[in-house]
Amino acid sequence: MVSLQTLDTGARPIMPQNFFHKCLVVVSGAVGGALGLPALAVELPLSTCVMLRSVADIARSQGEQLQTRDAQLACIQVFAMGGRSDKDDAGESAYFMLRAALAKSVTEALEYVTERSVIEEGAPVLIRLIAQIAERFEINVTEKLAAECIPLVGAAGGGAINLMFINHFQNMAHGHFIVRRLERAYSPEVVRATYLRL
């Protein structure tokens, strides 16, 4: 696993660097969001690797032996975990779909601005959003202003999406690896029975 190559995979618990990983994915999401579809092929694997490294860092903090296949598989399983609702159990696929949709929107909006007038009826969503915001603040939107705003909107969106997902995956990882630590200490049956009682 590429994400583990920069981590000390020893068993000694170390506080996870959650904030550091959040900063990395927000920056990579912002850069990728600003550049649109062409950057997606580079940014998406990079952000995913950083998120997986964060999950592994959390696993290590709970005493997981990261050099074992079991611990590595447990790290990957975090990406399939949702919250309490069954509707959010496809976290990883939702992340990829959102990022691809944002990249496509940024690219379409930039192409639109270079080819046509800004505020036509059939304008892409990002163009209409920029026009509505500008109208609210009584700013006259030109093609140049819209073209300059699109990367900013894409950057903000890319950073926000990455932050939302890394928060989710870090929370899931903390819960998952605390449970695994308790199972190692008390047995899976005892932990499950206690959980069901609660």
Helix axes 91-115, 37-61, angle to 10 degrees: 150
Please report, for the chain, the start and end positions of each structural domain, with discontinuous segments joined by +.
16-116+154-197
Contact of 129 with 60, CB cutoff 8 Å: no
Give the per-residue pLDDT at 120.
59
Least Cα distance to 61 among 168, 174, 166 occurs for: 174
> In sequence order, which residues have a C-beta less than 8 Å from that of residue 181 and are 6 or more positions away?
62, 63, 64
Cα separation, 108 vs 167, in Å, equals: 29
What is the per-residue pLDDT for 157? 87
| Residue corresponding to tokens 């939302």 | 164
- pLDDT reported for residue 131: 66
Mean pLDDT by 10 residues, the chain (198 residues): 69 82 95 85 90 94 90 88 58 69 75 64 65 62 65 87 93 93 92 86
Residue 6 is given by DSSP the state: T
**pTM, rounded to two decimals:** 0.77
Rg (CA), the chain: 21
DSSP letter assigned to residue 11: S
